[in-house]
Amino acid sequence: EPGAVPMLEINDLTVRFGGLVALNKVNITVPAGSVVAVIGPNGSGKSTLFNTITGLVRAGEGSILFQGNEILGLRSDQILKTGIARTFQNIRLFTTLTVAENIMVGLHARLKAGPFSAVFRSPKKLTEEAAGRDWVIEIAKIFGNRLMPRLGQTVVGLSYANRRRVEISRALASKPKLLLLDEPTAGMNTSESLELAEQIKGLHALGLTVLIIEHKLDVVTRIADKVIVLDHGEKLTEGPADEVRKNEQVLEAYLGR
């Protein structure tokens, strides 16, 4: 709705690593209930954007408003508690724990001090708790029968695509208002990627706001209300997926100059 407070509003965000300007005065608005995609070549600052939003990088200048409140400078655990969850480009799961236990870590991260509190309890107790919790099942169900039969299996035996699904589940377990997905289809084949796109659309239908870094333009076109293009740390352009795909500068940025 016009005039509504955006879920996320980033103003003039600049992030430097020594002499390198990873993000340069970037402005991004993520309306509540939308799916916004961030695309751009390697090294354009996409993951740095996520790291800054989630407090893993705290060197940012400018402003990041989450539901109207400044979060730039907060610690990552504080930001998680406000209702922002994420996945990582390089999957970060506890491979010796079960699928259910990994999903549980997400909830504990929200409720307790840090992501490790769940891990330091006995795996047996966690397994019992997890099995008893409707919400673990609710979340796993988002992925159809991909995870449901594997809730008690350790992550080490899972396919790459299923590890991605567990990572997303773990993020969802914290019941976020805003979900940040960093290349969730990386390593997935086309049909797996499009299946995930449909599942992300389903989350959107449940009211979740999604900011997604995604290289596969088919996926982007299917799910994104708006696409932001980063290049060398700057916002090159933004707009609907079909317009952005036709943009000469975007093609140039992707093909290299």
The residue count for binding ligand ADP (CB under 6 A) is 11
Q: Which stretch binds ligand ADP (CB under 6 A): 46-54, 70-78, 157-165, 238-246?
A: 46-54
Tell the smallest beta-carbon distance from residue 47 to Mg ion (Å): 3
Could you write out the DSSP letters of every residue in the chain?
-TTPPPSEEEEEEEEEETTEEEEEEEEEEE-TT-EEEEE--TTSSHHHHHHHHTTS----EEEEEETTEE-TT--HHHHHHHTEEE--SS----TTSBHHHHHHHHHHHHHSSSTTTTTTS-HHHHHHHHHH-HHHHHHHHTTTTTTGGGTTSBGGGS-HHHHHHHHHHHHHHT--SEEEEESTTTT--HHHHHHHHHHHHHHHHTT-EEEEE---HHHHHHH-SEEEEEETTEEEEEE-HHHHHH-HHHHHHHH--
Q: Choose the binding region for ligand ADP from 44-52, 66-74, 197-205, 247-255 (rule: CB under 6 A).
A: 44-52
In angstroms, give the least distance from the CB of 232 to ligand ADP.
9
Least CB distance to ligand ADP at residue 238 (A) = 16
Strand partners, 63: 11
60 binds, among ligand ADP, Mg ion, none (CB under 5 to 8 A by kind): none
Please state the closest distance from residue 62 (CB atom) to ligand ADP, in A: 16
**Interface with ligand ADP (CB under 6 A), residue from 7, 8, 26, 45:** 45
Of the candidates 1, 3, 19, 42, which one interacts with ligand ADP according to CB under 6 A?
42
Q: Which of residues 69-98 bind Mg ion (CB under 5 A)?
A: 89
Binding positions for Mg ion, 40-59, rule CB under 5 A? 46-47
* 22 forms part of the interface with ligand ADP (CB under 6 A): yes
47-76: contacts with ligand ADP (CB under 6 A): 47-48
State the residues that interact with ligand ADP by CB under 6 A.
Answer: 17, 20, 22, 40, 42-48
